[in-house]
Copies of this chain bind each other. A is one copy, B any other.
């Protein structure tokens, strides 16, 4: 079964900044798509903020197994309705890979329930990402650490909920550290955050970085049928209980009433 990948990119700096356009002439989404196609994914589409409904229609999301997210300057322009559609699909089982500055995206903050804040510095310093579990599927084919010659620094504390797994920790030449690869489960959806990828550097052309993203796309793919009614709060009448009951005692709700939300 081939995971259907959708790459979402805000696609702002690539259009407005000469430097970024030079690094990613087809956009960051284009570069990521190439990397995934080259690593054996057959079904990789891209959409951007500029598309109708940001390309995140209900139909498109229903046909997506893993969504990759890159955003930075335009987090605030993503509509709340789109964010809710993505969140629903994650709970139902869609994988989500959030890259770099996506730590402050609406969708990531929505799913984490925390500020997702961190320290930062744009000084083109060396970053080393150490792998904490060399036998993890997301680490397959990697060396003990990935060295990136120039990157933006992100420093702890990173205010996210404790993850399922901490897979990568970054060392920065300036002296800080950062949990650069973490996983979470939310509903039936698998979430992976991966730090590298400041748009001022050619990070997404790094083969190891590409490998992590490809590995993560496979890991985040949930082959099970979607949990379609994950938001439902059904009433189970006494006579339909697994061990049928005779209702007794006081009641606030009439037969067939919905609960309060």
A interface residues (Cβ-Cβ under 8 A, vs B): 13, 17, 19-20, 72-76, 87, 91-93, 101, 104, 110-115, 117-125, 128, 130-137, 139-140, 145, 147, 150, 153, 155-159, 161-162, 164-166, 169-177, 179, 184-189, 198-201, 222-227, 230-238, 241-253, 259-261
Contact = CB atoms under 8 A, between A and B. Distances in A.
A171 B172 CA distance: 8
Give the interface centre of A130, A153, A223 by most chain B CB atoms within 10 Å. Answer: A130
Nearest to A139: B224
B187 A158 contact: no
B132 A156 contact: yes
A231 B115 contact: yes
Copies of this chain in the oligomer:
4
12 contacts: A91-B114, A111-B114, A121-B236, A121-B241, A122-B252, A123-B248, A128-B175, A136-B224, A150-B249, A161-B184, A165-B185, A174-B238
A172 B110 CA distance: 33
Contacts of A101: 260
Contact of A224 (B137, B158, B199, B259): B137
Given A123-B248, A244-B174, A91 B159 contact: yes
A223 B140 CA distance: 9
Given A171-B176, A245-B125, A252-B17, A113 B110 contact: yes
Contacts of A179: 132, 166, 169
Nearest to A261: B104
What are the 4 A-B residue pairs with the smallest beta carbon separation, nearest first? A135-B188, A124-B249, A135-B227, A175-B242
